[in-house]
Structure 1
Amino acid sequence: MEEAPDSIGFYEALNTYGLAWFVADQPDSARMAAGRVLTFAAQQEPSDRIHLLTAMSYNSMGNCYGLTRQQDSALYCFMLALHYYELTSEREKAPDVCINIADMHMRKGDFANSAFYYRKALSISDSLGMTDQTGFPVYTGLGQLYMELRDFDLSDHYFRLAENQYKRQTLNEQFFYCNTRGNYYFFKEEYGNALPWFEKGKALVVPGGYRFSENLVNVNLGEIYFHLDKPDSVRYYLDKAHAYFSAINEQTFLYHIGTIRAGMALKDNDPRLARRYLQNSAATGIEPSLTGIRNKYIQDYFARTGDFKQAYSYLLKNRAMDDSIRSERTMMRIAEIDMRYGQDTTLMKKEMLIQTQASNIRSLRMRSFVWVTVSLLIVAMAVIVSLVMKKQKDLQSMIFHDQMTKLKLSNIRNRISPHFVFNVLNREISSAEDAGHSHLKGLVMLLRRSLELTAQTYVTLAQELEFARAYISLEQESLGDGFRLEWHIDPHIDTTAVFVPPMIIQIPVENAIKHALRQKEGEKRLSVRVENEGNGFRILIQDNGPGYSPGKRDPSAGTGTGLKVLYQSIDLFNHKNKEKILFRILRSDEEGLGGTKVSVYIPNNYKFENV
């Protein structure tokens, strides 16, 4: 509303704001909002949107008048709302307005017109296929209508139809049902059955602070307890309701509270107090059922005071009112409306069935032709897709095997670097007096094992550990006396039964020795750990060198080809597996060790075979 002060959208929002005021028991504010919208709409060119805005405003204003018992004004607004809804494309709003019109006619005691508009709401709903949405308030209204006509069997029938849809309704509709169902049992004089329905209705509205609805139920509870001979409960509920309705000057409910209190005074054999309550008849627009209840107490009052002539006159008034409400003419008209609705509904369903069958026959041939065409197209597309997918698969396979070949060649080149071989040979030549030449023998073994492993795409953990041990053994002398090596292999891991990518340990170990430990002064520590973790195992290679620094590169550090090959191998393996190998190089500061930590996590059941 703040962002669009002069647009239709502003007034559409204002309508919603007015609805919020209405629900919050502020009908005057809601009516003022609807009046502002109507003033705006009257100044605009007619259009579907303006008609809809006008219809919503008149409906909102009618609800406000209905809440304050101004039935004639409410009917006037509802009839205008129905007129404007019928000018729009949104006919699905019309049943709700018809229900409102029917409710107002019922309050005025015009049961024939009430039945007509309830049936009209059902007829429009049937034609739009939305009876499931509007059926509940219509069935509840018809249940109330036949309750007023004292046709309790038919009333109960409609109440049960509504009860089947009760759980899908809004809080307001559920409250209306509970209150009306309680009134049904009240007029049947089954006060014990009425009580739980009123209590259920009150439990719905109390948490939300709907005070008007809450005190409406308080009046009904006071009347039930009056008939159940519980005077303390009667006074409790009537006092609460009287305080609220006096504050908002709601004369209709004050009128009825006075009626019940007059009945209490008569029960207590206090005709003078009863007369004081019964003399207050200033309210207008009182529903016939409430007037009838008061007339009975007035009749009882005159009988108790010995004025039998007046008592008899009120008896005749009530009989005349009952005869008017439930006259033969009214009953016949309502029955006629019911019959016409049934006939219209049957004819409409037959016509819809005929049209549906004709449409099915016309579309049968077309569907057959379409299905044949679609089937041929599907077969052709399936063949084309199959050929394309096969070609793509073959191409991917070629690319994959080409990558693996390159990696295997890189593996061969990087498994044992020439620089490393020359260093070992130089040491052996310079120490020729050592007859054993144990390092030279180890180098030969390492070269032979390297050639065996490089042709494989994966190796056992035991093979990789053996290779790394042999490599460290050959390099150990060059690291000096300050070198400390730690091995920790979890005894629960069968190293001969689990597999790893080639060089997954050897390359990080080689990097640790070459780039972290060889130039380091003092103690040089290297740790290799293999541990179970979660649904896999983790390999940790850690040194106490200067530490890993991404982006900082030593010109003498080499090309980094070994790590590149390792990363590419892991990417290829991960492409074939749902759970991935996780390879990370971190700067390690734990326990003051410093240096670099290489962490490799390999899930159990990792698949290498397809590669």
Structure 2
Amino acid sequence: MYKSFYLAIYILLSNIIFIACVSHKDEHLNNSDEIFILHLDTLLGSNPELACTEIDSILSSDVHNDQFYSLLMIKSKAKLFLSEYDSVFILLDSIERYCNKISEENTPYRLLSSVNNMWGNLYARRSVMDSAVIYFQKAYDYSSKLGLSHDLIDITINLADANVRSGKFDQGSFWYRRSLSISDTLMLPENRRFPSYYGLAQVYMDLRDYDKCDFYYNLAGRYFDDMLPFEKHIYLNNRGNSYYYRGEYDKAMDYFRESLQLANKYPDMEFERKFTKVNMGEVFMLMNETDSATAYLEECYSFFKSIDHTSALYYIETQLIELALKKGNISVASKIIRDAVQPDFIEPNMLHIRNKYLQHYYAESGDYKKAYYYQQNNAHIDDSIRNERIKMRSAEISLRYRQDSTLMKKEMSIKEKEGQVLVLHQWISILVLAILLFISISGMFIIYRKRRFDKRIWNMQTDISTLRLENIRNRISPHFIFNVLNREMVRYTNEDDKSCLVNLSKLIRKNLELTGNLSISLNDELDFVKTYITLQEQTLGEDFHYEVNISDDVICEDTYLPSMLIQIPVENSIKHALKVKKGKKCLWINVNKNDAGVEIVIVDNGGGYKPVSSSRGTGTGLKVITQTIQLLNMYNKEQIVMKISNVMTDENETGCEIRYSVPEHYKYNISK
């Protein structure tokens, strides 16, 4: 349903009224001018057309001063009420050109704030939300230069709504709460804060958090009788929206009917009446009252077509698609989809509804591929809403912490003042006792300050000692080791010895590079393993033989596996089996492609795996591999499988085989 856009329309109108027109007048306006502007301000909410007529009757084309453009500003607001967008554009452009001509030292911040706020309202009503946010931010910056004011509250509400309609719910919540914070500072009464409350209710409605949604709607509902007609309209329509999203259509319809009755009392609320009827048309459709739905939607389509409101037309066409499907007219639905309008900006809620109905259309048409596509799009939108809900909860926790801290500071300040009053009373009644108490408190304070100072000195000394020790440790760094090895290599003339040092240096450097990495490419792992084996060959003797076989369909650079997956079994095989074996010593490393991904097999002929053997070591390496695989498997649907078994080699010798099966699209990022 076209919910968040509808709220924006009403918040827009709310701010037009709330921004006191008198704040935009020039300082030279006399009392009669102020009374007349207040009179126009009242007319805006009840009869905007009459307000335009009265402004035109007193505007002089010869005198173009601040008073003249302040009246043009009021006229632009009236034109926005009447949905005459071209006139609004012309008036705002004229006011902006006037402001740009004024020298920098006489910058009319109030007029600039107002004109940028109106630009934002105009773009928000046309659903060009990026531009709306930019202009509202400019309005906020200009208004901030004049200090805290009621104008600033209304601009923050506009900025909040624009962010909500853009899908930035955390930013929207921030600006609504900012408006409440300014209201607290200005000591604005509670019955003037309901726009912020039902704005927050809208945020939580979009996030489907209905408990908090109802909480803020109930706060706003306390002041329903104090609301102006269009403010009541906001409350009723959006309260109905909240029940629509819950699927409680009867309750939603009750609120929409009450909203329509209210709008019917005011002839100038034609725009609002039509939007309410659009909402009612959709609910009728969902309640399978297709005749009523058709009448309402077609009536509203004609109206929004006449004012060229593409966002509203896009939404109504969305409902007409589903309505045609409910009537079994797939050809009508196809025509609507083919000729549909395309707004520049589509809100997430509207897109979600459109995707749902397009999914239904393609399912009915037998194009299940496209039906699945739109189903997946909605799944992504739902995921985004869940992410926004998490961000909102984090922001609320942060805000609550700041509020609690502020409250604590205030309580501490109050208690401090109470203590001062008590001391003053004691001074008056018992002067000597007060002096002694003062001396005692002063002495305790001095001791406390001295202890704090001594503690800071001690902490500084500890930090210095720690840094000195750290500096000493850092002097013997890996770079130092490499420099010594390189220097020693220069002294060796024997190429075999020199090669051994080169490989050792390479092994140490590679080990440092891979420290802390959960994954490594197959190419890097095999390179590391080959370097290690080369260093161990001298100790194993001439009877040692190893092979590394990689099938042609395995791309080593693009294949990743857990770090040390091959190195640890190879190291265990050499240290605990082959070194102590007499005769021929063999080690095979085979990497092949299978249906699941890559299969890695490490085999030796060292007598097989004996868990209780004294030559088997502590088993720490295998524990590292096992725990690493278990950890990574928790974050993957397809899991790495590890198998250790004893096998017979071709020469009838018992050997140990470690076999890994690594899925092709295995992920190594651990998310919290």
Q: Distance in 1 between matches of 2:85 and 2:386?
A: 33
- How far has the Cα of 1:233 moved from its partner? 0.9
1:146 maps onto 2:204 in alignment: yes
Q: Distance in 2 between matches of 1:137 and 1:47?
A: 35
- Tell me which residue corresponds to 2:70: 12
Matches within 5 A, 1:369-518: none
- Tell me which residue corresponds to 1:256: 315
- Tell me which residue corresponds to 2:405: 347
Aligned pair partner of 1:218 in 273, 277, 283: 277
Tell me how large the CA RMSD over aligned residues is.
Answer: 2.7
- Tell me which residue corresponds to 1:317: 377
Tell whether the 8 Å contact from 1:62 to 1:76 is kept in structure 2 after alignment. yes
- Tell me which residue corresponds to 1:547: none
- Tell me which residue corresponds to 2:346: 286
1:301 maps onto 2:361 in alignment: yes
Instruction: Write the deviation string for residues 112-162 of structure 1: whole angstroms up to 9, x where unpaired.
Output: 221221222222222222262552111111111111111111211111111
CA 1:308–1:176: 2 relative to 1, 3 Å: same
1:269 maps onto 2:328 in alignment: yes
- How far has the Cα of 1:344 moved from its partner? 3.0
Instruction: Write the deviation string for residues 171-190 of structure 1: whole angstroms up to 9, x where unpaired.
Output: 22221111111111111111
Tell whether the 8 Å contact from 2:69 to 2:95 is kept in structure 1 after alignment. yes
Tell whether the 8 Å contact from 2:156 to 2:175 is kept in structure 1 after alignment. yes
Could you state the TM-score of these two structures normalised by the residue count of structure 1? 0.56
Which one-letter code corresponds to 2:381 in the other structure? M
- Tell me which residue corresponds to 1:206: 264
1:72 maps onto 2:130 in alignment: yes
Tell whether the 8 Å contact from 1:119 to 1:338 is kept in structure 2 after alignment. no
Matches within 5 A, 1:524-539: none
**SS in structure 2 at match of 1:88:** coil
1:120 maps onto 2:188 in alignment: no
Tell whether the 8 Å contact from 1:48 to 1:88 is kept in structure 2 after alignment. no
- How far has the Cα of 1:353 moved from its partner? 5.0
Tell whether the 8 Å contact from 2:96 to 2:115 is kept in structure 1 after alignment. yes
CA 1:309–1:145: 2 relative to 1, 3 Å: same
Tell whether the 8 Å contact from 1:25 to 1:210 is kept in structure 2 after alignment. no
- Tell me which residue corresponds to 2:144: 86
Q: Distance in 2 between matches of 1:81 and 1:288?
A: 26
Q: Distance in 2 between matches of 1:346 and 1:130?
A: 21
Q: Count how many residue pairs are aligned between Structure 1 and Structure 2.
A: 367
Q: Distance in 2 between matches of 1:313 and 1:171?
A: 43
Q: Distance in 2 between matches of 1:364 and 1:74?
A: 55
Tell whether the 8 Å contact from 2:113 to 2:139 is kept in structure 1 after alignment. yes
Which one-letter code corresponds to 1:291 in the other structure? L
Aligned pair partner of 2:153 in 85, 89, 95: 95
Identity of aligned residues (%): 29
Relative contact order higher in (CA < 8 Å, ≥ 6 apart): 2
- Tell me which residue corresponds to 2:38: none
Which one-letter code corresponds to 2:363 in the other structure? A
- How far has the Cα of 1:99 moved from its partner? 1.1
Q: Distance in 1 between matches of 2:134 and 2:171?
A: 14
Which one-letter code corresponds to 1:238 in the other structure? L
- Tell me which residue corresponds to 1:430: none
Q: Distance in 1 between matches of 2:155 and 2:245?
A: 28
Q: Distance in 1 between matches of 2:103 and 2:418?
A: 43
- Tell me which residue corresponds to 2:298: 239
CA 1:350–1:283: 2 relative to 1, 3 Å: same
Tell whether the 8 Å contact from 1:119 to 1:341 is kept in structure 2 after alignment. no
Tell whether the 8 Å contact from 2:280 to 2:296 is kept in structure 1 after alignment. yes
Tell whether the 8 Å contact from 2:201 to 2:214 is kept in structure 1 after alignment. yes
Tell whether the 8 Å contact from 1:222 to 1:233 is kept in structure 2 after alignment. yes
Q: Distance in 2 between matches of 1:52 and 1:362?
A: 44
Consecutive unaligned residues in structure 1, runs of 5 or more: 368-611
Instruction: Write the deviation string for residues 498-557 of structure 1: whole angstroms up to 9, x where unpaired.
Output: xxxxxxxxxxxxxxxxxxxxxxxxxxxxxxxxxxxxxxxxxxxxxxxxxxxxxxxxxxxx
Q: Distance in 2 between matches of 1:95 and 1:366?
A: 41
- How far has the Cα of 1:264 moved from its partner? 1.3
- Tell me which residue corresponds to 2:223: 165
Could you state the TM-score of these two structures normalised by the residue count of structure 2? 0.51
- How far has the Cα of 1:38 moved from its partner? 2.0
Q: Distance in 2 between matches of 1:299 and 1:305?
A: 10
